Amino acid sequence: MSATEIDYYELLGVDRTADDRTIKAAYRKLAMQHHPDRNGGCKDNEAKFKAISAAYDCLKDPQKRAAYDRYGHAAFQNGGGAGQGADFADLGDIFETIFGNSFGGGGARQRARRGADLRYDMQIGLEDAYDGKHAEIQVEVSVACDPCQGSGAQPGTGKRMCALCRGHGKIRAQQGFFVIEKPCHNCGGRGEVLEQPCQNCRGEGRVDRVQTLEVDIPPGVDTGTRIRLSGKGEAGPMGAPPGDLYIFIHVRPHDVFEREGTTLFTRVPISFTTAALGGTIEIPGLDGERHTIDIPPGIQTGKQLRKRGAGMPVLQGRGRGDLVTEIMVETPTRLTARQKELLCEFRETETGEECPQSAGFLAKLKNVWSDLTE
């Protein structure tokens, strides 16, 4: 390995197993340390800056990094991979050369890569899911560089034809019986290079920045609902189109209501006298109204009463779901002497017909006991 072929991982001071975040952090630290503008035009620092920039340009790209891990610097010389025995070339490149564009070859120049899509997880309350919400969020994202307007070129400069591929975006190399055509590693397949990289973004055309974005959450959203903000993802390199930002909604549990689609469920305890005699209860809904629920006489624990149109709104539609109230009959635990006296009087008047389920169960027990004693 020559002096100009220092190992990229050693150059950035990271392990070969380092993830993208670690590599990016190491590059930023070294780039600031050796940037020519910070060192009075020192030639040694300028050379160091170019070397670490080349290393980062390789290792940040998954395909380039994989090729470098396998072949080292030879991966980017004379078409890459030469002299590797049976490893002549990637089969996709061979098939593309023989059969043309049907294997994804495309035109001579590669299109600029679109920026990455981003994900943002947002938690909201059930009330916000009911009414909808206008919110502001802050996202750290790569945006177009202001000085160069995303082009990557220093203001006042432009681009010129790549001298290596002569503007074709691809280079050819002889490997045995095959002529392999690959994207030009000097220009990244674009067919042109920057005359002078922008000092603010170092030729990337984008910089990291915290952005404040406005989001309209429609009524009726639920956990898992996805909202897309078109063009609010990461900016593409060198003026390429940006990606999208996807906001995933997570609705927090509510103290009173449970939700299933557009239906709201709640459990309401009632006294055993209300259960026996009937009555009404009022439930405050998410719509701000008080919904009256009629309790029929003789209701049992577990009975569900449905209120039409008092549930969640339909997402991007019309109407609302239902409110379902599940009744729980509560047995009193603290009785006054007079209350106990009245209950004793009531028990003396019981005939068994007041509680048909209990009477039926006792009848079944008698039949079982008779069968056992015969």
Residue 105 corresponds to which tokens in the numbers above?
């070859």
CB 312 within 8 A of CB 263: yes
In the chain, the percentage of residues whose pLDDT exceeds 90 is 39
Residue type for position 77: Q
42 is in an annotated binding site: no
Residues 137 and 227 in one domain: yes
CB 182 within 8 A of CB 94: no
- Beta-carbon neighbour count of residue 82 at 10 Å? 18
Residues 208 and 234 in one domain: yes
Max mean pLDDT range (65-69, 149-153, 309-313): 309-313
CA distance 310 to 2: 76
Residue 47 corresponds to which tokens in the numbers above?
């050379």
CA distance 117 to 64: 21
CB 182 within 8 A of CB 77: no
CB 118 within 8 A of CB 246: yes
CA distance 250 to 129: 10
Residues 238 and 142 in one domain: yes
CA distance 303 to 329: 10
Residues 136 and 231 in one domain: yes
Is 296 part of any domain?
A: yes
Residues 301 and 249 in one domain: no
Distances in Å between the Cα of 125 and the Cα atoms of 58, 99, 249, 264, 323 are: 45, 56, 10, 14, 18
Is 160 part of any domain?
A: no
CA distance 326 to 302: 6
Is 181 part of any domain?
A: no
pTM for this structure?
0.59
162 is in an annotated binding site: yes
355 is in an annotated binding site: no
Question: Which CATH number fits the domain that encloses residue 10?
Answer: 1.10.287.110
pLDDT of amino acid 250: 95
Kindly give the residue spans of alpha helices, DSSP state H, lying in the chain. 8-12, 20-34, 43-59, 62-71, 91-99, 126-131, 272-277, 337-348, 356-373
- Given a cut of 60, is residue 206 above it in pLDDT? yes
Q: How far apart are the first and last CA of the chain?
A: 100
pLDDT of amino acid 192: 86
Based on the structure, what is the number of domains in the chain? 4
Residues 127 and 247 in one domain: yes
Is 294 part of any domain?
A: yes
- At 93, is the pLDDT very low, low, confident or very high (cuts 50, 70, 90)? very low
Q: Which range marks the domain in which residue 49 is found? A: 1-76
Is 105 part of any domain?
A: no
- Beta-carbon neighbour count of residue 218 at 10 Å? 13
Is 183 part of any domain?
A: no
Residues 129 and 228 in one domain: yes
Of residues 18 and 40, more confidently modeled: 18
CA distance 225 to 249: 5
- Beta-carbon neighbour count of residue 136 at 10 Å? 8
Query: Given the structure tokens 């060192």, which residue do they identify?
Result: 39
Q: What is the pLDDT of residues 106-122, one digit of tens each?
A: 444 555 678 889 999 99
Question: Computed from CA positions of residues 108, 111, 112, 115, in that sequence, does the dihedral angle turn out positive or negative?
Answer: negative
Residues 321 and 262 in one domain: yes
58 is in an annotated binding site: no
Is 172 part of any domain?
A: no
Residue 360 corresponds to which tokens in the numbers above?
């039926």
Strand partners, 133: 217
Residues 233 and 137 in one domain: yes
The mean per-residue pLDDT over the stretch 347-352 comes to 84
Compute φ and ψ for 53, nearest 5 degrees: -65, -40
pLDDT of amino acid 94: 36
Residues 142 and 38 in one domain: no
What average pLDDT does the structure give for the chain? 82
Residue 250 corresponds to which tokens in the numbers above?
């997570």
The mean per-residue pLDDT over the stretch 179-207 comes to 85
- Beta-carbon neighbour count of residue 230 at 10 Å? 9
Residues 276 and 340 in one domain: no
- Give residue 58's Cα distance to chain centre: 27
- Given a cut of 70, is residue 79 above it in pLDDT? no
- Given a cut of 80, is residue 76 above it in pLDDT? no
- Beta-carbon neighbour count of residue 370 at 10 Å? 9
Is 359 part of any domain?
A: yes
Describe the strand order of the beta sheet including 263-271 as a list of residue ranges. 258-260, 263-271, 323-330, 304-307
Lowest-confidence region among 3-12, 65-74, 124-133, 357-366:
357-366
Question: Which CATH number fits the domain that encloses residue 243?
Answer: 2.60.260.20
Residues 357 and 311 in one domain: no
